[in-house]
Amino acid sequence: MQSKLVIGISSRALFNLNESHKVFELEGVEAYRQHQITNETKVLEPGEAFNLVRKILRINDFYDQQRVEVVLLSRNTADTGLRIFNSIEHHRLDITRAVFSGGESPYRYVKSFGVGLFLSSDASDVVMAIQNRVPAARIVSNKTREITDDSFLKIAFDGDSVIFSDEAEKIFHEKGLNAFLESEKNNTSLLTAGPFKSFLIELNKLQAELEDNCPIRIALVTARSAPSHTRVIKTLRKWNVRVDESLFLGGMNKTDFLKSFGADIFFDDQMLNIDDAQKEVSSGHVIYGVKNQ
């Protein structure tokens, strides 16, 4: 039996709960509870990760059994969470498993479900996941985007501190660009793994299984350029990992390139890049590495 890729997602990443969250912040838990119950039959609008989740679930159409599963991990109670499940049913999302943790962090159930990617709007949950070697990102909300291309699920990754560790980024951060370039020129060792290596490998497995019919495209979008591209290429080759498109931008702004690629989501460790990219594509902040200390 094939392994299953499990995606854990928070309710605030899946649906637009901004109005409800304002009630919670301004009026408290009981007012929030009454608000959700009163609006139980009012369908929630898609959130920042909604289109991504829908495309992920469509991968199962290529299999005879469930190959990818999305699990809801929510801080709501089951009582207030009924509106969320009603919305899942309305939008015809194949999500049947859920945790409603009643205000506590739902992160502790990530390992139990075998989650291979955790997407949340809560920074502390994301940090805990990454510290425990679960690929995770904080979904940054801007506006809901319609699906413009149903044919592919397109995922873009930054390199250092996302696919790879922050070892090279530390040199740049502490000693500057020239020291970084000199280090890369003289360093023939492979890059060490970052928090999203395992998720990238799982995507590669799906691509290999589906071959010519594969609906997934992967892009590496990095600030690196020649000669610092060499270690990246050799490391991915050693890992037996393939990316469909590699963009070595040499410090150029990434946003226009992400838009041209048509990314459904972009994972980066630096909020400066995320703040800019989110204007055009859904973005996930990977809270890891020297830039987040």
Q: Residue 174 belongs to what domain range? A: 153-292
Predicted pLDDT of residue 1: 45
User: Do the domain assignments include residue 263?
Assistant: yes
pTM of the predicted model as reported, rounded to 2 decimal places: 0.91
- β-partners of residue 118 are 8, 136
- Residue ending a domain, among 77, 105, 140, is 140
Closest CA to 11 of 95, 68, 130, 117: 95
> Does 52 map to a domain?
yes
Residue 172, SS3? Answer: helix
Does residue 145 belong to any structural domain of this protein? Answer: no
What pLDDT score was predicted for residue 143? 56
157 and 286 share a domain?
yes
Same domain, 9 and 123: yes
Catalytic residue at 268?
no
83 shares a domain with 33: yes
283 CB-contact burial (10 Å; exposed 0-12 / middle 13-18 / buried 19+): buried
17 and 133 in a single domain? The answer is yes
Q: Name the strand (E) or helix (H) holding 17.
A: none
pLDDT below 50 — which residues of the chain? Answer: 1, 144
Position of tokens 């199962």?
60
Q: In what order do the strands lie in the sheet with 5-9?
A: 98-100, 68-74, 5-9, 115-120, 136-140, 283-285, 265-268, 153-157, 216-222, 245-248
Q: How far apart are CA 81 and CA 94, in angstroms?
A: 17
Residues 122, 125, 158, 166: which is the catalytic one? 158
Structure tokens at 15: 């649906």
Do 64 and 16 lie in one domain? The reply is: yes
Q: Are residues 10 and 136 in the same domain?
A: yes
What CATH number has the domain bearing residue 94?
A: 3.40.50.1000
The total number of structural domains in the chain stands at: 2
Instruction: Say if residue 271 is in the same domain as residue 171.
Output: yes
Task: Judge residue 146's burial from the number of C-beta atoms within 10 Å of its C-beta, 0-12 exposed, 13-18 middle, 19 or more buried.
Answer: exposed
